[in-house]
Amino acid sequence: MSGARVSAEAMMPNCGANGVAGDVVGFTDARGQQYRGRLRSLTSPQMACLIVLVEPSDSVTLRAAADTGHLVRLEPDFEDVSHDSVEVDLVLPPRP
């Protein structure tokens, strides 16, 4: 969905925790339905739970959706190395 508002954050050390491990910045709409962002964290290596929220541009017919089940390992980032990625697929439910 083009024009959706996508946000994400990483909680540590798991999905039930309240300590923030990092946030995802720079979401871009790559091809109308794919968004890319980059997770930034001040501490690594560590385990974190990735939480993704999508709010549709058409909030009249669609509702927001969230995904909270991705455990990821954060590693130190160096610009000259390749980066791992996580793909999250969300289906926005219709409004009743």
Confidence of residue 95 (pLDDT cuts 50, 70, 90): confident
Confidence of residue 1 (pLDDT cuts 50, 70, 90): low
| pLDDT at site 22 | 64
52 part of a folded domain: yes
28 part of a folded domain: yes
Nearest Cα neighbor of 68 from 25, 1, 7, 2 is 7
53 beta partners = 7, 66
pTM as predicted: 0.75
Question: By residue range, what is the domain housing residue 21?
Answer: 5-74
Residue 49, amino acid: C
Residue 73, amino acid: R
Q: Quote the number of domains for the chain.
A: 1
82 part of a folded domain: no
State mean pLDDT over 79-92: 77
96 part of a folded domain: no
pLDDT tens digit string along 20-34?
Answer: 666 666 676 766 677
pLDDT of 89 above 80: yes
